[in-house]
Amino acid sequence: MLFKMKIKKMREKPRENCAIFGVTCNDLGYSVSKLLYQGLIALQHRGQESTGISLLKTGGKIYTYKRNGLVSKVLENPIISQFWGNVGIGHNRYATTGAVGYKSMDYIQPFHFKTNEIEFSMAFNGTIANFDEIKKNMDDMGRVFITDTDTEVIAQLIGSIALGTEDWPEVLKLTSRLLDGSYSLILMTDEGDIYAMRDPLGFKPLCIGELKSDKRNLYFVSSESCAIDAVGGILLRDVEPGEILHLSHQKDIHSELVIKSPKTALCQFEFIYFARPDSIIDGVSVAQARLRLGSLLAKNDPILKNPEIRENAVVVPVPDSGRSVAVGYAKEAKLPYVEGLMKNRYIWRTFIIPGQARRKAAVKEKLNPIKSVIQGRDIILLDDSIVRGTTTQQLVSLLKNRGEAKNIHLRISCPPIVSPCYMGIDFPTKEELIAGRFQKLYNENYIEEIRKKIGADTLLYQNVEDLVMAIGKEENQLCLACLTGNYPLKSVEKLAEMEQSIVQSRV
Ligand code: SF4
């Protein structure tokens, strides 16, 4: 009972998978608000529920503006022009908790922390596994919380530690030793410094860039390099796992590797789905990784040996994240690539829309088959992943019924997702994951049963070895927990075991 309550609570609190962006400029007369807007627009795919910015005005005052909605709506021109400052940070938010929706302003980031003694603003992307433990300790110390988020717990923790010292690197060093989780965060002080920090296993991406001209020098820190491109900067490097980095408009970049871990755990899903293809993460081009994923799928595909299917086949991507994979597949298979699905660009990405009902409705509105290019054909359909299976089922039926395709050969660039993610992504239970549920029900026949359920004529998943090869990292540099059930964080491993024992006790 105690365990049940603990797990339920964990699921009900907001968990973010978001975007963070920061800029500092050495020209005090220059405002970075437009650059924050441009950076956040480029990172919109990582969070679409709310957005916010904090800017440091002359005289050391931090101003924060945040609202629910897309960047273009929240940070309209009249708003942006009101905010003036040469240092700033911003955040796009996606609440992984789902259907409930946390609309309160208190849940939107950046989190502006202000007491009589200390002021800073912080933007955070991730999940803290030992959240409950830290919060309880701080509750006992008399701290009052206004939200139930990891972000506030970290901000309060930083605020408490900073009371004893003005030395920010030391404050963040101590903070990082107390946190167990997957996170990237940026913090802006009221002295105009930006600190960037990435967890010791490097689950979430974070990189820095610069833009130097005769007039001014700018430094950027961003969840993805595509935002640094968007503001005209050049990518300098990634923030290393376990590194605390200081970006100052008065000096250059200073960094300290606080915790050096023998292994890392960069989320493989960044390469499958989350990141934009024009981003480079930890030295790997996302687009190139996706091309390799497609090529390796084709190398392992038995239907390519069937001349009848080859004769009638076209390779079709599920837009947008299936595109690079489909190009890689078509090139390797030497088959034509066609755009057989029209996407309505004004509908949000289905996977990261909270709530199953909203997700389901969005698929129908989002995709329409282009009958003239797929009618009567064998469609080799490339998609990034199957999470719950319902959207894939709808898609297959759409192509067959409305598009009148002859056969659907479904090819998935991510191996079967069999285990929940406790690192901030919204697929919380094994029961909700089609591969997790079917693996338990049908053992080694589970892929065939998924195929039947989805209605595809054939189904091929990527295997884990090829996924690792396509990304171009070693296995011990990636988090593969949702594919293997092996969790890189000890506290998360314990939670997974607890959940498993509860599920088994219900059977
Ligand atoms: S469990 Fe899966 S989605 Fe979660 S961090 Fe690991 S690889 Fe990413």
CATH number of the domain enclosing 82: 3.60.20.10
Residue 197 lies in a domain: yes
> Of ligand 1's atoms, which has the minimum distance to the CA of residue 419?
1
448 falls in which pLDDT band (50, 70, 90)? Answer: very high
What percentage of the chain exceeds 90 in pLDDT?
66
User: What CATH number is attached to the domain comprising 383?
Assistant: 3.40.50.2020
In this prediction, residue 80 carries a pLDDT of: 87
The answer to whether residues 306 and 212 belong to one domain is: no
The answer on 26 and 54 residing in a single domain is yes
Q: How far is the CA of 8 from the centre of ligand 1 (A)?
A: 20
Measured in Å, residue 279 CA sits from the centre of ligand 1 at 19
> Residue 260: pLDDT band by 50, 70, 90 thresholds?
confident
How large is the average pLDDT for residues 104-130?
89
Please give the pLDDT value at position 442. Answer: 95
> Best substitution site from 94, 204, 268 to test ligand 1's pocket, by max atoms within 8 Å of Cβ?
268
Q: 312 and 223, same structural domain? A: no
pLDDT at 284: 98
Instruction: Name the domain boundary from 261, 295, 327.
Output: 261
Task: Judge whether 72 lies within some domain.
Answer: yes
Give the closest residue (by CA) to ligand 1 atom 8. 267
Q: Are residues 320 and 457 in the same domain?
A: yes
What's the pLDDT score for residue 353? 55
What pLDDT sits at residue 496?
63
232 lies in a domain? yes
Ligand 1 atom nearest to CA at 203 = 5
Q: How confident is the model at residue 143 (pLDDT cuts 50, 70, 90)?
A: confident
Least confident range from 111-115, 165-169, 324-328: namely 165-169
Does 30 have pLDDT greater than 50? yes
Residues acting as catalytic residues: 18
pLDDT (0 to 100) of residue 431: 86
Same domain, 203 and 309: no
User: In this model, does residue 351 exceed pLDDT 70?
Assistant: no
Q: Is residue 272 part of a domain?
A: no
- Indicate if 302 and 423 belong to the same structural domain: yes
Number of domains present in the structure of the chain: 2
Look at residue 372 in the predicted model and tell me its pLDDT: 96
Lowest-confidence region among 76-80, 129-133, 356-360, 418-422: 356-360
Side by side, which strands form the sheet with 254-257? 111-114, 119-128, 181-189, 193-198, 243-248, 254-257
Q: What's the pLDDT band for 2 if we cut at 50, 70, 90?
A: very low
User: Does the structure show a pLDDT above 80 at 493?
Assistant: no
Distance of CA 42 to the CA centre of its chain: 14
| CA gap 225, 235 in Å, rounded | 6
- Which structural domain range is residue 96 located in? 2-261
What's the pLDDT score for residue 427? 63
For residue 368, the CA-to-ligand 1 centroid distance in Å is: 30
pLDDT at 7: 38
- On whether residue 333 sits in a domain, the answer given is yes
CA–CA gap between residue 490 and residue 482 (Å, rounded): 15
Per residue in 147-180, pLDDT tens?
888 888 899 999 989 887 879 999 999 999 999 8
Q: What is the pTM of this model?
A: 0.89
Q: Is 299 helix (H, G, I), strand (E, B) or coil?
A: helix
Q: How far apart are CA 117 and CA 96, in angstroms?
A: 33
Residue 5 has pLDDT above 70, yes or no: no
Residue 269 in domain: no
Q: Are residues 255 and 220 in the same domain?
A: yes
Question: How much distance in Å is there from the Cα of 364 to the middle of ligand 1?
Answer: 27
Average pLDDT across the chain, whole number: 87
CB 80 within 8 A of CB 37: yes
Q: For residue 97, what pLDDT band results from cuts at 50, 70 and 90? A: very low
What is the distance between the alpha carbons of residues 86 and 250, in angstroms, rounded to a whole number? 11
pLDDT band at 507 (very low <50, low <70, confident <90, very high): very low
Please give the residue that has the higher pLDDT: either 130 or 249. 130
Report the distance separating Cα 378 and Cα 408, nearest Å. 6
pLDDT bracket for residue 3 (50, 70, 90): very low
- Is pLDDT above 50 for 1? no
pLDDT of residue 101 exceeding 50, the answer is: no
329 and 233 in one domain? no
Point out the ligand 1 atom lying closest to the alpha carbon of residue 267: 8
User: Which residues sit with their C-beta closer than 6 Å to ligand 1?
Assistant: 203, 267-269, 421, 423, 425, 479-482
User: Which whole number is the average pLDDT over 76-80?
Assistant: 88
Best of 421, 427, 430 to mutate for ligand 1, by most ligand atoms within 8 A of CB?
421
The ligand 1 atom at the shortest distance from the C-alpha of residue 427 is 3
Is 136 or 291 the better-scoring residue by pLDDT? 291
Specify whether 257 is located in the same domain as 312: no
Is the pLDDT at 472 greater than 50, yes or no?
Answer: yes
Structure tokens at 458: 């054939």
Percent of the chain with pLDDT over 70: 87
Give dist(CA 321, CA 318) in Å, integer. Answer: 7
For residue 13, the model assigns a pLDDT of: 25
User: For ligand 1, atom 4, which residue shows the shortest CA distance?
Assistant: 421
